[in-house]
Amino acid sequence: MPDNEVVNRTGMMSIVKQPTRGNNKLDRIYVSDYDYSWVKVVKSAVTSDHMAIVAFSGDVVRTAGKTKRVCTFCKHTAVQHAHFLASVATPVHTVNPDGDPWDEYDRLYGVLSDLLDTYYPVRAATLTSADPPYITPAVKHMLRRKNNLMRSGRPERSGSIGGKNRCRNQEIQHS
């Protein structure tokens, strides 16, 4: 039913003035008087080609922008541990008993820092204020890697990131 016909028959007013799907005003709100001071059409939170309508009264509500922060982390895997332990099976630093203790400490610290940087490199992940609290930098890194593998057409490789091989699970279910 056209908008003007609904207005004529019911005496109500349409308060949505912006398009809600493409260039069309398909979603509407009719009121008998203007109780709402603001009507806003926003992108829907659910998967839909329709926009969402937010009608409210009172002060203007501003959407808070997302904040980003880059977090660093060190990825730890069993393979990395094995390589690290193999490299430290022999002494990595010998102490000079005649040397200055602070110089010896600085040398030891440098050797250990180099070992850690070699076997456990520092990685970065960007977390936003919109991420749930259980998303850690390591989880965000894995999700990004999995998405990249899925987009590059390697779903079997991406399934192994989460510890599950989806292709093998599907074969078992079909058997």
Residue 125, SS3? strand
Please write the tens of the pLDDT for every residue from 54-113.
888 777 656 667 789 999 999 888 999 999 999 888 888 888 888 898 999 999 999 999
Please write the tens of the pLDDT for every residue from 63-72.
667 789 999 9
Instruction: For the chain, give the percent of residues with pLDDT over 90.
Output: 22
- By C-alpha distance, which of 56, 49, 41, 69 is closest to 126? 69
Burial zone of 125 (CB within 10 Å; 0-12 exposed, 13-18 middle, 19+ buried): buried
Residue ranges per domain, the chain? Answer: 3-56, 73-125, 132-175
Q: Note whether 25 and 4 are within 8 A (CB).
A: no
pLDDT at 172: 41
Mean pLDDT for the stretch of residues 126-139: 89
R_g over Cα of the chain: 30
Beta-bridged to residue 123, according to DSSP, are 73
Please write the tens of the pLDDT for every residue from 141-150.
988 888 888 8
